[in-house]
Structure 1
Amino acid sequence: MKTFFKLILILSLSAHNIHSIGENIDITDFGAKSDDTRPCTEIIQNAIDKVSKRGGGKVIIPPGKFITGSIILKNGVTLEIQKGATLLGSKNLEDYLSIQPDFVALRTGQATKQLIFAEGQNNIGITGEGSIDGQGAAFERAETGDEPGITRPHLIQLIDCKNVRIKNVDMRNSGGWMQHYLACENLEIKGINVYNHCNYNNDGIDIDGCTDVVVSGCFVDSDDDGICLKSTSPRSCKNVLVTNCVVKSHCNALKLGTETTGGFENIIFSNCTVSPSVDPDPIYGTQKGQSAISVEMVDGGLLDQVNINNITILETGCPIFVRLGNRSRKYSPDAKEPGIGTLRNVSISNVTATTSSKTTSNITGFPGNYAENINLSNIFITNLSDGSEKEAALEVRENDKGYPTAGMFGDILPASGFFVRHVKNITFNNVQLFIKGDNVRPAFILNDVKDAQILYPGIFSWREEGAKIVKDSDCENISVIN
């Protein structure tokens, strides 16, 4: 992992030193005026086209408010939004292009709309200390058949691009996902501030089937998922580092999934803080968030070598959710239904969490299919919820086809610390559980678990019942070393 960490930093630093020379065009020199009522889409696009044709450089958005519909980034162009500048997305859906990407990987197969788009472009970027405001509340969610990016524009969608730099910009109020990077290579997202709470599907950052990615120093507050890795096509999400970020979400803060067709390999989440959103009114999800860490494999594919470390979780829902399922969603209408995926080699370490949720941490496969090689070490969880004898005896239903979310088995789980089922080769090393309140639910419940070690557990409970480790008759080779 250390070698991978060094490699991805070198790739990032070398790949993005790309805009030091070239032509710079201020859009006001092309006739744009600071006016939040008149679109200047054509002016901005003409500037982008000219800079790209002349070998690359910057298109500058100076201080002021400038409204636009869809703009398309071209080779060599960085859109620089200066401090004091706001690029406003038009509230009129007709100002957005309907674009059918060449890269056929969108589940709906339909043309999409977005404020800033690029496909197959190299050496592009969006930088500066200004803001992009999609004004996404202007777009109503359709009753049926609605998808983000179709009736509600994405703020940013970049597809099959290389050498991409997104830096320091403030992003707000998308009609759907804030930013979607699909099948990109050498992608750096650094120091951005995201606030997305105006519509449905308001994710913060979506990295989808990308290779060689660094996300660092970002602040994300989203109604839907915070920083989310996806694999909606056969392209795997590979060599990704997410580090030194603060994430607040009404749904899942740090997530791999839901879409998993191409899989995930060599992924690191490190040195991040998760806490509830500052927004008190969820459109979707819950005020404190559904989960802090979610690792999911439900649409086929391979998930291998995922390392999550040094995470601080301040009062959210389920601290840790790991799920191998069999939802089997196709990535496009004509694709074959995916087979059962593989989830293995996941390491989660140095996590401190406080939660008052009864949807406690859960790690699960489904009958005959096991999540494998899971290692949890130096985990400290304080559970402030209560738990009755009736709740401790709850039967947890199977749900192999269900949408993967921490509450997919119900809002209350019978374990106060970890519910583990259909898992092979799992280790808990120095997992400390502080179980407070009137809670008699066992700390650990293991069901159909093979080859497990629980090393040096610390289970601190007001009630003796809450300090138990419960193993059922389907478990094999379970050792507990105090």
Structure 2
Amino acid sequence: MQRYSSTLVVLAFCLSPAAAAQDTRTVTEPVIPTFCTKLDAHLTSISDSTYNTLSAADESKLDTDRIQKAIDSCGKGKAVVLQAQGRFNAFVSGPLELREGVTLVVDKGATLFETLDPKVLEISPGSCGIVSKDPGRGCKPLITVSHVSRAGIMGDGVIDGRGGQHILGTTTSAWDLGEQALKDNAGQKVSRLIVTDHADNFTLYRITLRNSPNFHVSYNAGDGFTVWGVKIDTVQRIANTLHPLSRNTDGIDPGNGSKNITITRSFFREGDDNVAIKGGPGGVTNMTVIHNHFYWGHGMSIGSETMEGVSKIRVTDLTLDGTDSGIRIKSMGTKGGLVHDVVYDGICIRNSGRPLDITAAYAANGPVKGNSPPTFRDITLRNVSISGGGKILFDGYDHDHRAQVNLDGVFLTDSMAPDTPYTYTFDNADVVFGPGGSNLQLPAGTDATISGSPTKGTPYSCVDRFVPFPTD
């Protein structure tokens, strides 16, 4: 088996003071721990022409118990390794729980598949693999990390949630349930791939996460979360088609009292928000997103929950290539609060439907109007280059709850002859043009103000910034 080695590398930001890292930790490249146990695969993955999967005969051969026993008996600071052995390269599991200081490593060439049997994942009898208006999740996550510190999930292998494959005994997938739930105004009771709660100093390193039934990673109420060299690779959602696929498959969602977060050197493509910062109970603060590439998905998002605040966020050296939205802050009157002290610096966006999508009129998760209105202020866009047309929104809530945005070096690089036109929404907002220049031509808007004016400048260079999604 390959022996892992990594050189500690301190994140070198090389930024202006306003764009400096907001994660208060000194973040270094993770190191895969010494192994306490190596588990060999007993199953072989196959292809059904669309997905990697297992034969019907292997679906019931769960590895849950032996993986969980290995985790439970592993000492702090050590790792349980899942490894391929010849033609055997697959594991299949129900719910797993990480323990204090223990890392789960999926080795290169190995895949950990989530079971397709909803009974294995159900929280109560019959609660999983359905559409229901009852409250609650219905299904346990594949991996839970709760009230432990210094746990991790690492390795060059794959964790596959199989969201597009038929739930056992049905002709319906988890993603099909998501579409049914949308039509029925109900909830899809399917699993999430990784859910953490009060998991301080949790690490994801080099792992590939694929095709989660719902969110890939939900990080809540933790202090210290590092995502380094991770790939999220889920099929593209194509709305308004017979099988749109991959609804609600967010990539990384920090929220609910989390702080000190770094996402770096990662590649994400999925069916919803690539990253969604959720300012629910406890809010989110001190987060750095640096040196990343996003592809299909809903972009670099804040919201829709912002009621307890989002602050001290720095997003730097990010490419958004074909995302539905690019830079996105979304909320509404029923889930709004203060979003402030947010800087985007060194951003390349192309072929996005909404390259700048800052709106307090987001309607997907509740009524636009309500008793918890959002306010966005001290939002800075610096060195942002956009091509490919699309909608640009600076859209506040009302006269007292506004969207205040500073533009400093924000350019439409194909503004003279775009293949797709640019359109604007500019309401209840205040835009300040900075010294770096901009060629955005904002309309008069409704209850909107402009300080300064568009000026000439040199657009931020995106030469060699857009790279293919790594599939090796």
Q: TM-score, with normalisation over the residues of structure 2?
A: 0.74
1:75 corresponds in structure 2 to 100
1:388-427 correspondence to structure 2 within 5 Å: 416=422, 418-424=424-430, 426-427=432-433
2:345 pairs with one of 309, 324, 334? 309
1:23-62 correspondence to structure 2 within 5 Å: 24-28=36-40, 33-35=42-44, 36=54, 37=58, 38-51=61-74, 54-62=75-83
CA distance in 2, matches of 1:290, 1:145: 23
1:126 pairs with one of 153, 168, 180? 153
- The 3 A distance-change label for structure 1 pair 222 and 431 is farther
1:371 corresponds in structure 2 to 402
User: What is the percent sequence identity of the aligned residues?
Assistant: 21
Residue 173 in 1 paired to residue 211 in 2? yes
CA contact (8 A) 1:362 1:419 kept: yes
| Shift, 1:261, TM fit | 2.2
CA contact (8 A) 1:430 1:455 kept: no
1:223 pairs with one of 252, 271, 275? 271
| Shift, 1:245, TM fit | 0.7
| Shift, 1:111, TM fit | 4.5
CA contact (8 A) 1:297 1:303 kept: no
2:468 corresponds in structure 1 to none
Residue 292 in 1 paired to residue 326 in 2? yes
- The 3 A distance-change label for structure 1 pair 180 and 425 is same
2:262 corresponds in structure 1 to 214
Q: What residue ranges of structure 1 are gaps of 5+ in the alignment?
A: 101-106, 277-288, 331-336, 388-415, 435-441, 459-482
| Shift, 1:267, TM fit | 0.4
1:317-466 correspondence to structure 2 within 5 Å: 317-325=353-361, 339-357=372-390, 360-381=391-412, 382-383=414-415, 384-385=418-419, 416=422, 418-424=424-430, 426-427=432-433, 429-433=435-439, 444-450=443-449, 452-456=451-455
2:317 corresponds in structure 1 to 271
2:143 corresponds in structure 1 to 116
| Shift, 1:445, TM fit | 3.5
CA contact (8 A) 1:318 1:355 kept: no
CA distance in 2, matches of 1:200, 1:329: 14
CA contact (8 A) 1:328 1:339 kept: no
CA distance in 2, matches of 1:191, 1:301: 32
CA contact (8 A) 1:71 1:116 kept: yes
CA contact (8 A) 2:269 2:294 kept: yes
- The 3 A distance-change label for structure 1 pair 66 and 56 is same
| Shift, 1:153, TM fit | 1.4
Deviations 1:98-146 (A, max 9, x none): 299xxxxxx9444442111121111100001111111111334333365
Residue 135 in 1 paired to residue 173 in 2? no
Structure with greater strand percent: 1
1:8 partner SS: coil
1:244 partner SS: strand
Deviations 1:236-264 (A, max 9, x none): 111010111110124x2111112222221
- The 3 A distance-change label for structure 1 pair 109 and 223 is closer
Structure 2 residue identity aligned to 1:122: S
- The 3 A distance-change label for structure 1 pair 328 and 419 is closer
Deviations 1:202-233 (A, max 9, x none): 222222232000000000111211122112x3
CA-atom RMSD in angstroms = 3.0
CA contact (8 A) 2:269 2:296 kept: yes
| Shift, 1:366, TM fit | 2.9
| Shift, 1:10, TM fit | 3.4
CA distance in 1, matches of 2:100, 2:388: 47
2:23 corresponds in structure 1 to 8
Structure 1 residue identity aligned to 2:408: S
CA contact (8 A) 2:260 2:285 kept: yes
| Shift, 1:192, TM fit | 0.6
Residue 188 in 1 paired to residue 226 in 2? yes
CA distance in 2, matches of 1:134, 1:249: 18
2:251 pairs with one of 197, 200, 204? 204
Structure 2 residue identity aligned to 1:361: I
- The 3 A distance-change label for structure 1 pair 230 and 6 is closer
CA contact (8 A) 1:60 1:81 kept: yes
2:65 partner SS: helix
CA contact (8 A) 1:184 1:211 kept: yes
CA distance in 2, matches of 1:157, 1:80: 17
2:336 partner SS: coil
- The 3 A distance-change label for structure 1 pair 385 and 370 is farther
1:157-172 correspondence to structure 2 within 5 Å: 157-172=195-210
- The 3 A distance-change label for structure 1 pair 260 and 366 is closer
1:84 partner SS: coil
- The 3 A distance-change label for structure 1 pair 457 and 295 is farther
2:249 partner SS: coil
| Shift, 1:326, TM fit | 8.3
Deviations 1:42-70 (A, max 9, x none): 1111111111xx43411110122111111
Structure 1 residue identity aligned to 2:383: N
CA distance in 2, matches of 1:317, 1:375: 22
Greater displacement, 195-204 / 319-328: 319-328
CA distance in 2, matches of 1:171, 1:375: 35
CA distance in 1, matches of 2:425, 2:138: 42
CA distance in 2, matches of 1:88, 1:109: 24
Aligned residues: 386
Q: What residue ranges of structure 2 are gaps of 5+ in the alignment?
A: 1-15, 45-53, 128-133, 166-172, 236-244, 458-472
1:463-474 correspondence to structure 2 within 5 Å: none
CA contact (8 A) 1:261 1:338 kept: no
Greater displacement, 174-183 / 419-428: 419-428
Structure showing greater radius of gyration is: 1
CA distance in 1, matches of 2:372, 2:351: 36
2:110 pairs with one of 82, 85, 96? 85
